[in-house]
C-alpha cells in the first residue's frame, strides 16, 4: 500500500550509542528504535535504525532506511525526522 508522507506518524527512542573512529574523525553510531504508523494506527514499520553522527552532521544509514520502507517519499521524510530527533540530543551522546 502506498502512503502520502503526511499520512504517517513517527516515534523514536534512542536505544544505544557506539563510538568509532573513521579517518581520525570520532563518529557515533546511534541506534534508534523506530515506529512508523499510518494515521489510522496501522503499523508500517517497527524496529531499530542506525544514524551516524560526527562533527560534520547527522547521517541516517541509507540501507537501514530502504530496509524499513520501500516508498521513496517516506524514506526522505524518515531521514529528515531522524535528523530532527537526534540534533537536540547530539551533545549528550
Give pLDDT tens digits for 13-28: 999 999 999 899 999 9
Q: How is the chain split into domains, by residue range?
A: 8-90
Q: The pTM is what?
A: 0.88
pLDDT over 80 (residue 3): no
Read off the pLDDT band of 4 (50, 70, 90).
low
pLDDT computed for residue 32 by the predictor: 98
Mean pLDDT of 48-59: 96
Question: Residue 62 and residue 89: Cα distance in Å, rounded?
Answer: 21
Model confidence band, residue 62 (pLDDT cutoffs 50, 70, 90): very high
Amino acid at each position: 500500500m502506498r502512503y502520502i508522507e503526511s499520512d504517517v506518524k513517527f516515534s523514536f527512542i534512542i536505544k544505544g550509542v557506539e563510538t568509532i573512529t573513521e579517518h581520525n574523525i570520532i563518529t557515533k553510531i546511534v541506534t534508534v528504535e523506530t515506529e512508523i504508523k499510518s494515521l489510522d494506527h496501522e503499523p508500517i514499520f517497527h524496529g531499530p535504525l542506525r544514524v551516524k553522527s560526527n562533527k560534520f552532521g547527522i547521517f541516517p544509514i541509507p540501507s537501514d532506511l530502504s530496509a524499513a520502507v520501500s516508498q521513496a517519499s517516506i524514506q526522505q521524510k524518515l531521514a529528515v525526522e531522524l535528523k530532527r530527533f537526534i540534533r537536540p540530543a547530539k551533545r549528550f551522546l
